[in-house]
Amino acid sequence: MNLVIFGAPGCGKGTQSERLIDRFGFYHISTGELLRDHIARKTELGIIAEKYISQGHLIPDELMLSIIDVLLDSPEVKDRSIIFDGFPRTVNQAEELEKLLVKRGNKVDAVIGLEVPDEELVERLIKRGQDSGRADDNIDTIKERLDVYHNQTQPLKKFYQERGSYRTINGSQSIDKIAEDIAQLVATI
C-alpha cells in the first residue's frame, strides 16, 4: 500500500508518518528530511537544495523526481509499502509519480490530507523553529512557504479528489486523536 500524507508545512505530516511507521511498518520517504540530510553532509545536491530551501521555495521538479526514481529502485524501498511525506508537492510531481509507480506495477492508494488553518500553522512553525532550530522555520520563510503551499501544492487536493483517493483528516485535533483517525482510515483501504 502506498500513502501520501498531505498538507501545509506544520500540519503534522512528519509526526503522523512516525505513528504510521510504528503501527503498520511503512517505509518513510520524507523529501524534506532527505534534502536536509544532503545539506548537512554538504553533498552536491545539498548545496543546490539549500539555496531553494532557505528562501522557502521548492527545489525544481526534475531534480526531485530523479531522486525519487532512484530511491524507488533501491533495495530498502523495493516491495515495501511507502508513505510519501512532503512529496508530491506540485501537480507535475503527482503526474510523474503516477507514471513512476505504474511503471513498477504500483499506485497511490490514498492521500491523507491533514487540514489545519493557516494561523495555527504559523504558531506551530514558529514554536518548532525555537525548539528544533530548523533554519526555514523563521517568520519570513514561513510566510513564503505558506504562499508556495497555497499556489503550487494545494491544487493537488483537487487532483487527488478527482481520482477518488483524497481523504480529509482534521489536523487541529490532538496528536493521538489524529493518529487514531488515520489508523481507522488506513484499515478501510
Catalytic annotation, residues? 13, 89, 128, 134, 145
Tally of helices (H runs) and strands (E runs) in the chain: 9, 5
Q: How far, CA to CA in Å, does 47 sit from each of 17, 35, 55, 117?
A: 27, 10, 13, 33
Q: How many CB atoms lie within 10 A of CB 177?
A: 12
Residues that bind ligand AMP (CB under 6 A): 9, 31-32, 35, 52-53, 56-59, 64, 86-87, 89, 93, 136, 145
Q: Measured from the CB atom, is 69 or 187 closer to ligand AMP?
A: 69
Q: How far is the CB of 86 from ligand AMP (least distance, A)?
A: 3
Q: Measured from the CB atom, is 61 or 109 closer to ligand AMP?
A: 61
Q: How far is the CB of 163 from ligand AMP (least distance, A)?
A: 19
Instruction: Determine how β-strand 27-30 pairs with β-strand 2-6.
Output: unpaired
Cα–Cα nearest to 20, from 67, 84, 69: 84
Q: Measured from the CB atom, is 62 or 180 closer to ligand AMP?
A: 62
